[in-house]
Amino acid sequence: MVLPDPADTPVHAAPRVIIVGAGIVGAATAFFLSRAGAQVTLLDAKVPASGASGASDGAVSVASKRPGPMMALACEARTLYRQWVAQGVMDGTYHARPTYLFARTEEEVAVIARQGADLMELGERILPLTHDELMQRVPGLGQHVLAGMKVPDDGHALGYRVVDRLLQISAAQVLRHTPVQRLALSDNRVVGVVTPQGTRVADAVVVAAGLGSGALTGLDDVLIPRKGQLIVTDRATLNGAALPGPLLSAGYLAAKRRMVLGQSSTSLVIDPLVTGQFLIGSSRETGFSDRQTDVLTVSKLLREALAVYPALARQRVIRTFAGIRIGTRDGLPIVGPHPSLPGLFIATGMEGDGICLSPVVGAAVADMVLGNPVRYDVSVLNPARFGALPLSQGS
């Protein structure tokens, strides 16, 4: 098949961009591209937010980030969420709330202290708390909680609601149940995508399809699926969230700071939902891409949750589910132009940080696609760090 080259087609005033994957990163990229005048089409193998974006806790949290570029980018992303609220983009979707870190061992107390020092270096407000001080702010905590820290300026936004809002505002064309089989190439340049319905031509293609990004971009050996099992309770209150903010185990921070490849673990987060329910999670099961929950993991999470917050004993479990987060070999997302295929851009491997980072990643990718100065420094996330990324697909 002879594929049309964009250079041989009529000149469009607006660049045509195809985004593969209608999760929160794809939606944010579509938002910024559309605002800049691009003609954007999103293709999703299922429906928007059907992957990790729809199975997340919604944390827009700097407190939980790995020190270094991830923590710095999270600060910038959270600022963007606030700007979106002021502009009416996320009004009613994003809201501010504190994060409470807690420690159950002296080792975890030290982890929180190190995290606090890293946060303060970025100018983040923190409030170290003794056991008694933490009990005053979060009544009902168990006696095994030794100490903690409040990070007052974090926030929350449910992934599927953010996706819905961004797609509405961007007015991008969204094609549901349209899997991308391969890239369309001409003279070693990406000029579109091939779907079961035929070839769609574009000036640029952005792949933001989670685990589905691997085969399209040559990242199969770099991307790592991690399953997270979560629990939803019935309502503890009818008047909003039962706690002022989520309770985040220092064990979660320790796992992120260590970033041991192939490691699986459970790291407790007790998240008070605005519905009055609790979301309890989560496992971090490396190499698993099924969406099944199991009794052993759910029981372990519930035992830990009850030890930290005994008041949960009054609640009933009404649902368990699992989401698949896509990580990478080095623990950092992959954001930038493909190292050997012009016209192709990648935004994947966010693992549990996509909800928080999506505004910054979407803005940066839009700048790259349009050839503008990139407003956020995501250079450390460039896919070129993994080499040439040869594709196995045919052209």
Q: Is 241 helix (H, G, I), strand (E, B) or coil?
A: coil
Inside any domain, residue 312: yes
- Banded pLDDT at 89 (limits 50, 70, 90): very high
CA–CA separation, 272 and 78 (whole Å):
20
381 and 269 in a single domain? The answer is: no
Of 35-49, 119-133, 143-157, 379-393, the range with the lowest mean pLDDT is 379-393
144 and 112 in a single domain? The answer is: yes
Q: Looking at beta carbons, which pairs linking 93-97 to residues 24 or more positions away fall under 8 Å?
A: 93/157, 93/158, 93/161, 93/162, 93/165, 94/60, 94/155, 94/156, 94/157, 94/162, 95/155, 95/156, 95/157, 95/274, 96/153, 96/154, 96/155, 97/154, 97/155, 97/156, 97/241, 97/244, 97/245, 97/246
Residue 257 backbone dihedrals phi, psi, to 5 degrees = -70, -35
% of the chain exceeding 70 in pLDDT = 94
CA–CA separation, 126 and 178 (whole Å):
45
The pLDDT tens digits of the residues spanning 325-357 come to 999 999 999 999 999 999 999 999 999 899 999
CA–CA separation, 383 and 214 (whole Å):
12
% of the chain exceeding 90 in pLDDT = 86
Whether 233 and 315 have beta carbons less than 8 Å apart is answered as: yes
What is the domain range of residue 374?
6-53+160-222+331-386
Task: List the CATH number of the domain containing 108.
Answer: 3.30.9.10
319 and 238 in a single domain? The answer is: yes
Q: Is 340 helix (H, G, I), strand (E, B) or coil?
A: coil
Inside any domain, residue 392: no
Give the C-alpha distances (Å, rounded to integers) separating 48 from 137, 161, 162, 167, 275.
38, 10, 11, 9, 23
Q: Residue 204 pLDDT > 70, yes or no? A: yes
CA–CA separation, 54 and 58 (whole Å):
9
Inside any domain, residue 207: yes
Residue 142: closest CA among 228, 268, 264: 268
| Mean pLDDT confidence for 162-179 | 96
Instruction: Indicate the residue among 328, 348, 365 that finishes a domain.
Output: 328
233 and 110 in a single domain? The answer is: yes
Looking at residue 390, its pLDDT comes to 79
CA–CA separation, 199 and 68 (whole Å):
41
Q: Residue 154 pLDDT > 70, yes or no? A: yes
Looking at residue 1, its pLDDT comes to 38
234 and 252 in a single domain? The answer is: yes
Instruction: Indicate the residue among 313, 328, 343 that finishes a domain.
Output: 328
201 and 139 in a single domain? The answer is: no
Of 20-34, 118-132, 283-297, 359-373, the range with the lowest mean pLDDT is 283-297
Mean residue pLDDT of the chain comes to 92
Inside any domain, residue 11: yes
Looking at residue 260, its pLDDT comes to 54
Tokens representing 336 are: 């930038």
Looking at residue 262, its pLDDT comes to 55
303 and 227 in a single domain? The answer is: yes
Which amino acid is present at 240?
Answer: G
Inside any domain, residue 69: no
Inside any domain, residue 380: yes
268 and 302 in a single domain? The answer is: yes
Looking at residue 392, its pLDDT comes to 60
| Mean pLDDT confidence for 80-104 | 96
Count CB-CB contacts under 10 A for residue 39. Answer: 17
The pLDDT tens digits of the residues spanning 239-295 come to 999 999 999 999 888 877 665 555 667 889 999 999 999 999 999 899 988 999 999
177 and 119 in a single domain? The answer is: no
Instruction: Indicate the residue among 328, 345, 375 that finishes a domain.
Output: 328
Inside any domain, residue 262: yes
122 and 243 in a single domain? The answer is: yes
| Mean pLDDT confidence for 189-199 | 97
For 66-146, list the strands marked E by DSSP: 94-96, 99-103, 127-130
Looking at residue 391, its pLDDT comes to 76
Residue 49: closest CA among 72, 71, 73, 21: 21
Distance in angstroms between the alpha carbons of the first and the last residue of the chain: 10
Whether 56 and 350 have beta carbons less than 8 Å apart is answered as: no
244 and 182 in a single domain? The answer is: no
Looking at residue 181, its pLDDT comes to 97
CA–CA separation, 110 and 114 (whole Å):
6
- Banded pLDDT at 322 (limits 50, 70, 90): very high
Looking at residue 160, its pLDDT comes to 95
| Mean pLDDT confidence for 130-153 | 95
- Banded pLDDT at 2 (limits 50, 70, 90): very low
Inside any domain, residue 184: yes
CA angle 321, 324, 327 (to 5 degrees): 150
Number of separate helices (H) and strands (E) present in the chain: 9, 20
Whether 374 and 221 have beta carbons less than 8 Å apart is answered as: no
Residue with tokens 């001409």: 186
320 and 336 in a single domain? The answer is: no
Whether 340 and 389 have beta carbons less than 8 Å apart is answered as: yes
| Mean pLDDT confidence for 34-50 | 97
Q: Residue 115 pLDDT > 60, yes or no? A: yes
Number of domains in the chain: 2
Q: What is the largest CA-CA distance in the chain?
A: 71
Taking the CA of residue 210 as centre, how many other CA atoms within 13 Å lie in the half-sphere pointing to its CB? 27
Task: List the CATH number of the domain containing 184.
Answer: 3.50.50.60
Tokens representing 394 are: 């045919």
